Structure 1
Amino acid sequence: MISPALAPIPTPPAAAGLPQHTPLAVQTRDGVVESVHYGSAIATAADGRTLLAAGEPLAAFYPRSALKPLQAVAMVRAGLDLPDELLALAAASHSGAAPHRDGARRILDLHGLAPGDLENSTDLPYGAREREDWLGSGGQATQLAQNCSGKHAAMAATCVINGWPVRGYLDPGHPLQQLVAQTVAELTGEEPERTSTDGCGTPLFALTLRGMARAFGKLAAASGTGAEAAVAGAMRRHPEMVAGEDRDVTALMRLAPGLLAKDGFEGVQLVGLPDGRAVAVKISDGGDRARMPVTVRLLAALDVDTSPLARIAALPVLGGGRPVGLLQATDFLAAAHSPNDSDAL
């Protein structure tokens, strides 16, 4: 058996095959550019038309945890019925605070399940403060503390409701995952280019920013008693369960009521507006800090009042404890597609 250290290194894609991202955010320090974040972004209309685009928004990418609201829609369609705060947790990448861990346990208890029925990976709480408190109290990496535990508890519960096997609920051939795949394809209007596995073990689909934006627009505009409206309403009413305190996604939904927001690892951000418009952002280097400034710039371009979002629209760069620069979005829309040619995307 070859030692992992001696195993062949996969050949990286040729430059010609890389997505054609564009500079979306820049960090300056005393007037000098220190870092540049490339990526792609898109804004879509309620009917799915492209309104604004930058970079290569039709390049396939993995939405990561931004898929959770779509997965939650599939589960509600399959009979999952939870109080709002627990349904929001089912669509969450939570920080691992006590309400998050207790909420995941409540979902399990309501359906006769136990933490041992979860099939997600183990981890420490995601939030910095929550992780520090957890470790200070002697906590270790567990499945309940892992930031996807709400979704996994809901997946196991959905299996119980439908009489499906709980064991193996992450298998792509399992009835639950088949339903999720159908729902994702319906909401995005796309068939995944390929399927992989997310960090928590869930099947993961390669889609486009346009498809994901269309899906979030549908969820954000949904009304009535359908699954889309239930998930969107729960997330809006309980943004602290979708992420947590000191998290920018929670702040965005609190500062701009009506917006539906979800982030994903590797620099992904989705936002749906009540009128069905939506924006989607992918930061190419996977960095987390550029997501929100770029998202706010897109929202401003859609004539959304972003004045309440000033503190997450640009991030101060400190030197010796005082501001000496700024991380902010570039003027990436200046060279973006105009409304006249956007329909070609």
Structure 2
Amino acid sequence: MSQSTTLPRRAPQAPPEVREPAHAPVAHVVRGGIIEGVHHGSVVVLAADGSVAFQTGDIEAAFYPRSALKPLQAVGLLRAGLPPLDDEALALVAASHSGEDRHLATAGRILATAGLTEDDLRNVPDLPYGSAVRDEWIGRGLGPTRLAQNCSGKHAAMLLTARTRGWRLDDYLDPGHPLQREIAATVEDLTGQGIARVTVDGCGAPLFAVSLHGLTRAAARLATAAPGTDEGRVAQAMREHPEMVSGSGRDVARLVHAVPGLLAKDGFEGVGIAALPDGRAVGVKIADGADRARMPVTAAALARCGVDPEVLAAFATTPVIGGGAPVGSLRAAGALAPWDNRA
């Protein structure tokens, strides 16, 4: 139903196995020359031809991608009939936004296109996700709203698509709704595998379990898509407007600016994907959900892709502070980046 060209769909393989993931050490927290903490997780690096160039942990077990699934959901909405949006608005559809004024205004604009208001959203009311924006919001005496919640762009686009297709609006989050069935079919197509489980994400939308390998394949497919295709449109919007996909100063936006042509998205519970225009891609899952380990591990994985380590240096470590000064760092470890010093 999209206004643009959709790439041919592939028959999905079997769903990934639901099991306890066999995660491996991927990051060390070093304080004063001693490993104070170890983050376990799983990492996959894909070569440009789609083959696995590196892996550690368990990249085939079923897991929930959380908000790293949003670029796939955005493609699904285009396929389901989402009317044309400018790139800034389309980027917000794939966003976990910080709740800045531009984010709220753009989500409101998408709703207005459908003749709807914030009252029609069914996502969970929340304070802005961005810490500075949230502090300012609270200082003004404002409370949680549906528009401020970080997934409001996705939800606004879901409503616009449903209104355009003549589908019911009150149950657009039901997994059996035709909108969600189309999104699920798109997730299976882009990942190349069946969905293992369906649950509810934090915002209230259906969340689909795939494997880290499958999610990373999907990121590569978006990154390599031709302009004008649904996949290509989402990729272009995310690359051109990384602050709409996240927010001012967010690490994922800074990474996109630092690495030319990069497509990247983060998700709760320590999930991250990044893909280059030639199909090289990485997927990261931190087992304990610690966001602090996500970016250093992602940077190390991108270095395995051939991205210049000097470009990645600003993302490769996080300082460990003692008495107000750095006394160590959090960095990739294990098979991903052999640890050979204790600075």
The 8 Å contact of residues 300 and 337 in structure 2, kept in 1 or not, is answered as no
Q: What residue in structure 1 maps to residue 265 of structure 2? A: 262
Number of paired residues?
319
Q: Secondary structure at the match of 2:63?
A: coil
Q: Does 1:36 align with 2:30?
A: no
Q: What residue in structure 1 maps to residue 130 of structure 2? A: 127
For 1:101 and 1:169, locate their aligned partners in 2 and report how far apart those are by CA, in whole Å: 21
For 2:80 and 2:21, locate their aligned partners in 1 and report how far apart those are by CA, in whole Å: 36
Q: What residue in structure 1 maps to residue 22 of structure 2? A: 20
Structure 2 regions of 5+ residues with no counterpart? 1-18, 339-343
Q: What residue in structure 1 maps to residue 251 of structure 2? A: 248
Matches within 5 A, 1:158-177: 158-177=161-180
- Write out per-residue CA displacement over residues 5-37 of structure 1, whole angstroms, 9 at most, x where no aligned residue: xxxxxxxxxxxx632111100111110111110
The 8 Å contact of residues 74 and 180 in structure 1, kept in 2 or not, is answered as yes
- Write out per-residue CA displacement over residues 45-69 of structure 1, whole angstroms, 9 at most, x where no aligned residue: 3443211100111111100001100
- Deviation of 1:331 after TM superposition, in Å, equals 4.0
The 8 Å contact of residues 243 and 253 in structure 2, kept in 1 or not, is answered as yes
The 8 Å contact of residues 281 and 305 in structure 2, kept in 1 or not, is answered as no
Give the alignment partner of residue 324 of structure 2, picking from 321, 324, 333: 321
Q: What residue in structure 2 maps to residue 341 of structure 1? A: none
Q: Aligned-pair RMSD on alpha carbons?
A: 1.2
- Deviation of 1:249 after TM superposition, in Å, equals 0.8
Structure 1 regions of 5+ residues with no counterpart? 1-16, 336-345
The 8 Å contact of residues 303 and 312 in structure 2, kept in 1 or not, is answered as no
Matches within 5 A, 1:78-227: 78-80=80-82, 81-227=84-230
For 2:55 and 2:203, locate their aligned partners in 1 and report how far apart those are by CA, in whole Å: 31
Q: Secondary structure at the match of 2:64?
A: coil
Give the alignment partner of residue 69 of structure 1, picking from 71, 90, 96: 71
Moved segments of 4+, more than 6 Å: none
- Deviation of 1:224 after TM superposition, in Å, equals 2.3
- Deviation of 1:101 after TM superposition, in Å, equals 1.0
Q: What residue in structure 1 maps to residue 12 of structure 2? A: none
For 1:235 and 1:281, locate their aligned partners in 2 and report how far apart those are by CA, in whole Å: 19
Give the alignment partner of residue 306 of structure 1, picking from 309, 315, 318: 309
Q: What residue in structure 2 maps to residue 45 of structure 1? A: 47
For 1:217 and 1:56, locate their aligned partners in 2 and report how far apart those are by CA, in whole Å: 19
- Give the partner amino acid of 1:85: E
Q: Secondary structure at the match of 1:146?
A: coil
The 8 Å contact of residues 316 and 323 in structure 1, kept in 2 or not, is answered as yes
For 2:75 and 2:20, locate their aligned partners in 1 and report how far apart those are by CA, in whole Å: 32
The 8 Å contact of residues 46 and 218 in structure 1, kept in 2 or not, is answered as no
Q: Secondary structure at the match of 2:336?
A: helix
For 2:120 and 2:247, locate their aligned partners in 1 and report how far apart those are by CA, in whole Å: 25
- Give the partner amino acid of 2:168: P
Q: What residue in structure 1 maps to residue 341 of structure 2? A: none
- Give the partner amino acid of 2:92: L
Q: What residue in structure 2 maps to residue 339 of structure 1? A: none
Q: Does 1:276 align with 2:282?
A: no
The 8 Å contact of residues 209 and 280 in structure 1, kept in 2 or not, is answered as yes
- Deviation of 1:131 after TM superposition, in Å, equals 0.3
For 2:102 and 2:249, locate their aligned partners in 1 and report how far apart those are by CA, in whole Å: 15
- Percent identity of the aligned residues? 56
TM-score normalised by L of structure 1: 0.90
- Deviation of 1:322 after TM superposition, in Å, equals 1.2
- Deviation of 1:334 after TM superposition, in Å, equals 6.7
- Deviation of 1:257 after TM superposition, in Å, equals 2.3
TM-score normalised by L of structure 2: 0.91
- Write out per-residue CA displacement over residues 140-196 of structure 1, whole angstroms, 9 at most, x where no aligned residue: 101001000000001001111111111110001111000000000000001011111
The 8 Å contact of residues 293 and 314 in structure 1, kept in 2 or not, is answered as yes
